[in-house]
Amino acid sequence: MKFSLEKKVKKRRRKVRENRMPIYEYRCNRCNKEFSQLFFNPKGIGKIKCKYCKGRNLTKLLSSFSVHQTEESRLSSFDTSRPRSDEFYRDSRNIGLWAKKRMRELGADLGPKMDEIVEKGRTGKILEDYTK
């Protein structure tokens, strides 16, 4: 039974690997333009040509990526002494971050009430309490 299950898992992994449709980014060394290429079949990866000049002398580029942080990790790396621009506060996740970090530094704990206030500030609902 165990052997059969392992075989099925290996087969499934192979199938998933074969069904991937990777996107690669390249720079053409002939015309110096960059482009992305989606591959529906892994066999086509070696046959790529520049979209612009049809040259084959290409350099594979490292694709950009992003890293998502939890609020906890953002709080731990946040420096309250550094001034922030208006651009910083356009990202709603940053609203209340300074206050939370500063309270932590001072040893103050307002509990769930603080989280509620910050969440209202982030969603814009905080003004509802003052317009009534």
Which pTM does this prediction carry?
A: 0.40
> Is pLDDT of 120 > 60?
yes
Contact 41, 21 (CB under 8 A): no
Q: What are the extents of the domains in the chain? A: 10-61, 71-123
**Residue (of 114, 95, 90) closest to 104 by Cα position:** 114
Give the mean pLDDT of the chain.
81
How far apart, in Å, do the first and last CA atoms of the chain sit? 67
Per residue in 44-99, pLDDT (tens digit) is: 777 889 999 999 999 999 877 777 788 888 888 888 888 888 888 788 778 788 88
